[in-house]
Amino acid sequence: MKTDSKEINSYTRELSITVPWEELKDDFEKSVRQFNKRVKIPGFRPGKAPRKVVLAQYLPNIEANFVEDAFHKAYIKALDELDLSPVNQATIKALDFHYESDLTFTAQFEVEPDITLPALKKNSLKVTRTRYQSDEEDVQSAIEEIRYARAEVHPVEDGSKEGHFILGDLQELDASGVPVIGRKLEKRYLKVGDGIFKGDNLKKLEGLKPGDISRVEIPDEAGNPIPFELTVIRVEEQVLPDVDDDFVKQVDPRYDSVDAWRASVKERIDKNYEQRAIEQYERALSDALIEKINPEYAPSMVDAYLDHLIEDAKKTNNGEPLDESKIREAYRSTAERNLKWYLIRSAIIEQEGLEVTRDEVQTKVKEIVEASPAEQRKQIEKYYKKPSNRHRIEDDLMEEKVLILKYVEQFTKVKEVIVKTDDLRKMSQEEHDHEH
């Protein structure tokens, strides 16, 4: 077999393959015998018709059946000989074969392009690393979330007030006040004075009791107010527990005082922000290298990435229809970015000979288990016995080696920036005010 390989671009290859008849004829004769067993020729038992008779009547059919397997076999052999791994299905062109003639065809496909890493010098890359400073408001917000999670729900009989919850049915009305058939939302919770139930809606919700009816306005997707009739089923209030030593013992038995527990909450918040900062820093490092190299990638790799994303979305969408074109449009830039980093990372791993050992994975698992609450440790240990879950740790450790321990950081000038969480809250509130 003769194979000529042509490089169309960094990710497209074209193979021109010729298989001589001498290499084909044994397999072709097998095809003739198999075909003979399947067809009925008048005057002959199945499989007993003379070869010449079979060829005379069915040669085009035999050739068509044979060539399908023959070209596939030759294609796989050529890939193996050239050590090529396509990332998409090949386009087969100029396929030609006739009895006692050579088989010829061309196969065009895409591969992962080879990435040449640039010769980086110190400070070739520039990134910002954030250090977050939390405050007492972060601690108090976290404690309030825990209080709300452990709140008791009490019925309200003397009329709703701001902060109460109303369970009721919402019936959409048309412009004349007539109920719209099929537009009823049953047993929905509304929080008086929260979100869209402020302003005029707040006034309409205050003082309501079970069985009362009120009219409110709820904006549609375009922001247009739509009238709804609310029928109150019941009114409830959340009674929050006091933060005292007894409450602390219920929440976390490791602590016996409010001060010690608050300190642990602060420590957990700081660790969360530290992890957030690490993730942002690692992302900044990889983005800087992507911008520096900007590698080419095979378009079919992006399509495969998006196909996988859509399949995952279908599994979690409970059979509801998806607008696949919108998903592809929304995530294409993310797919392109991630594929560029995948190619660069693979090149770094190969060049630097990086690997993650089983001991390193086990050490990391042990750290995760020991940092977890005692009552969850057995469950976490069981979780990481599954190979696919351990593989995620292995991948995270490799990312750390590529970015920080072995390669990228040594060429990077890092600018430290302190961000106070109070500033984050102000920015978030400004964005919320702007949206509304």
| Per-residue model confidence as pLDDT tens digits over 365-409 | 998 888 787 778 889 988 998 888 899 899 989 988 888 766 788
If asked whether residues 258 and 223 sit together in one domain, one would say: no
What pLDDT does residue 217 have? 92
The last residue of a domain, from among 239, 258, 281: 239
What distance in Å separates the CA atoms of residue 389 and residue 85, rounded to the nearest whole number? 27
If asked whether residues 207 and 271 sit together in one domain, one would say: no
Question: For position 76, which CATH number holds?
Answer: 3.30.70.1050
Question: For position 197, which CATH number holds?
Answer: 3.10.50.40
What distance in Å separates the CA atoms of residue 282 and residue 414, rounded to the nearest whole number? 12
Q: What secondary structure letter does DSSP report for 12?
A: E
If asked whether residues 282 and 210 sit together in one domain, one would say: no
Residue 147 falls inside a structural domain: no
Question: For position 366, which CATH number holds?
Answer: 1.10.3120
**Nearest C-alpha neighbor of 97 from the set 79, 115, 74, 118:** 74
Residue 298 falls inside a structural domain: no
The last residue of a domain, from among 110, 144, 169: 110
Q: How far is CA 387 from CA 357, 372, 390, 391, 397, in A?
A: 14, 20, 5, 6, 15
If asked whether residues 214 and 270 sit together in one domain, one would say: no
What distance in Å separates the CA atoms of residue 158 and residue 301, rounded to the nearest whole number? 63
10 Å CB burial of residue 170 (0-12, 13-18, 19+) is middle
Residue 175 falls inside a structural domain: yes
What distance in Å separates the CA atoms of residue 287 and residue 268, rounded to the nearest whole number? 29
If asked whether residues 159 and 286 sit together in one domain, one would say: no
Residue 142 falls inside a structural domain: no
Q: Does residue 38 sit in helix, strand or coil?
A: helix
Q: Does residue 228 sit in helix, strand or coil?
A: strand
**What does the pLDDT look like over 20-75, one tens digit per residue?**
999 999 999 898 888 878 777 777 777 778 888 878 888 998 999 899 899 999 99
If asked whether residues 27 and 57 sit together in one domain, one would say: yes
What pTM was computed for the model? Answer: 0.74
**Nearest C-alpha neighbor of 205 from the set 238, 181, 175, 228:** 228
Residue 56 falls inside a structural domain: yes
If asked whether residues 130 and 198 sit together in one domain, one would say: no
Residue 186 falls inside a structural domain: yes
If asked whether residues 278 and 399 sit together in one domain, one would say: yes
What distance in Å separates the CA atoms of residue 53 and residue 143, rounded to the nearest whole number? 89
If asked whether residues 87 and 182 sit together in one domain, one would say: no
Structural domain count of the chain: 3
If asked whether residues 262 and 130 sit together in one domain, one would say: yes
If asked whether residues 217 and 274 sit together in one domain, one would say: no
Residue 302 falls inside a structural domain: no
If asked whether residues 357 and 418 sit together in one domain, one would say: yes
What pLDDT does residue 435 have? 59
What distance in Å separates the CA atoms of residue 275 and residue 268, rounded to the nearest whole number? 11
Q: Does residue 118 sit in helix, strand or coil?
A: coil
Domain with 356 in it: 125-136+250-293+332-435
Which residues of the chain register pLDDT less than 50?
none
What pLDDT does residue 288 have? 93
What pLDDT does residue 317 have? 77
Residue 324 falls inside a structural domain: no
* Other Cβ atoms closer than 10 A to 325: 8
**Nearest C-alpha neighbor of 205 from the set 216, 220, 218:** 216
Q: For residues 406 and 352, is the Cβ–Cβ distance under 8 A?
A: yes
